[in-house]
């Protein structure tokens, strides 16, 4: 009985965290899709799109500390 309860205790944190991680990943993908569509509609030229993407990437790198 003790071995079973120990296995459940070890698995519990993973079971708790996995739905949150999957949800966050889906949310990020969802936002990225909308963001790309938004940029494609608003960008008149491909150079403008590249400038915006480079600015966004620079902003993310600055926020994440890379």
Confidence of residue 35 (pLDDT cuts 50, 70, 90): confident
pTM of the model: 0.35
The span from the CA of 19 to the CA of 63, in Å, is 26
The span from the CA of 60 to the CA of 43, in Å, is 20
Q: What is the pLDDT of residues 43-63, one digit of tens each?
A: 555 677 678 888 887 887 676
Query: Does residue 28 or residue 49 have the better pLDDT?
Result: 28
Q: How many CA atoms lie within 13 A of 52 on its CB side?
A: 15
Answer whether residue 38 shows pLDDT above 70: yes
Read off the tokens for 41: 């509609």
Quickly list DSSP for 3-38.
HHHHHHHHHHHHHHHHHHHHHHHHHHHHHHHHHHHH
């Amino acid at each position: 009985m003790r071995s079973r309860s120990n296995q459940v205790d070890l698995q519990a944190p993973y079971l708790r965290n996995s739905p949150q991680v999957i949800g966050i990943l889906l949310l990020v993908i969802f936002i990225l899709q909308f963001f790309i569509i938004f940029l494609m509609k608003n960008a008149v030229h491909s150079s403008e799109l590249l400038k915006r993407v480079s600015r966004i990437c620079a902003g993310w790198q600055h926020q994440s500390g890379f």
